[in-house]
């Protein structure tokens, strides 16, 4: 997540799944900036790997 706090600010999506005691996840992080371009917060989202696989199956 630390990458989103460095300039130039950008959205980051992990390239590998993370495994923990709650399951298997793909995480993404994004900076939240004010009107002057200063970072004021960051947001992180985890999506369950199974949900991603189900989405892929639905598309094909």
Q: Measuring CA to CA, which residue among 48, 44, 41, 53 is closest to residue 18?
A: 48
| Low-confidence stretches of the chain (pLDDT beneath 50) | none
What pLDDT score was predicted for residue 59?
67
pLDDT in tens, 29-40: 999 999 998 999
What pLDDT score was predicted for residue 5?
72
What pLDDT score was predicted for residue 58?
65
Q: What is the pTM of this model?
A: 0.70
For the chain, give every domain's residue range.
2-59
CA distance 44 to 25: 12
Paired strand residues for 44? 29
What pLDDT score was predicted for residue 9?
81
């Amino acid at each position: 997540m630390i990458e989103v706090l460095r300039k130039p600010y950008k959205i980051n999506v992990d390239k590998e799944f993370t495994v923990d005691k709650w399951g298997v996840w793909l995480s993404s992080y994004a900076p939240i900036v004010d009107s002057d371009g200063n970072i004021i917060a960051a947001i992180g989202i985890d999506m369950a790997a199974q949900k991603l696989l189900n989405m892929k199956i639905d598309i094909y």
